Amino acid sequence: MGKKGKMEVEVEVKSSAERFWSAIAESTELFPKALPQQFKSIRTLEGDGKSPGSLRLIQYAPGTPVVTFTKERIETMDEAGKTVSYSVVGGEMASFYSTFKATLRVAAAKKDDEEEEGALVTWAVEYEEKAPHEALDPALFTHAAAQTFRELDAYLLKN
């Protein structure tokens, strides 16, 4: 087996935690509309696309580096805690990683006077490479996730 690892990225957004989480929860429908430069389509293959066990097919926009599509299975969904985790089970990433599990959490950000101001979005991934030196650098995916959150925030602030 290949190398195991963990990576995490945090992004501060201006949208409220509630609004940003709602956008994440509705990503199947919203992402291709809000972020067409990244997402061609997201389809639910099994389940409702939101609850554990659901399987989604994500097709990335032409020109997206490295991957054209992924299949992901939702592992956990905690609405109250604004946390979702999912595993990649198909697509190009599955050919490089035997395990690729991501967890996304949205939390209210606080100012000095403890008023809510925006949100903190955390995306963490645990992975295991299939073979040494053949896997893609997972930093590519943390960078892409951070970019997605910033662009989604900009979309939400305009709409």
Whether the predicted pLDDT of 63 surpasses 90: no
Whether the predicted pLDDT of 110 surpasses 80: no
For residues 7 and 112, which has the higher predicted lDDT (pLDDT)? Answer: 7
Beta pairing partners, 41: 59
For residues 135 and 73, which has the higher predicted lDDT (pLDDT)? Answer: 73
For residues 112 and 144, which has the higher predicted lDDT (pLDDT)? Answer: 144
- How many structural domains is the chain composed of? 1
Enter the pTM of the model: 0.89
- Which pLDDT does position 133 carry in this prediction? 62
Structure tokens at 131: 């073979």
Whether the predicted pLDDT of 141 surpasses 90: no
What is the band of 138 on the pLDDT scale with cuts at 50, 70, 90? confident
| Percent of the residues in the chain that have a pLDDT greater than 90, as a whole number | 73
Whether the predicted pLDDT of 132 surpasses 70: no
Residue range of the domain that includes 32: 4-158
- Which pLDDT does position 131 carry in this prediction? 73
pLDDT in tens, 7-19: 999 999 999 999 9
Give me the long-range contacts of 71-77 (CB less than 8 A, separation at least 24).
71/45, 74/47, 74/49, 74/50, 75/101, 76/52, 77/50, 77/51, 77/52
CATH number at residue 71: 3.30.530.20
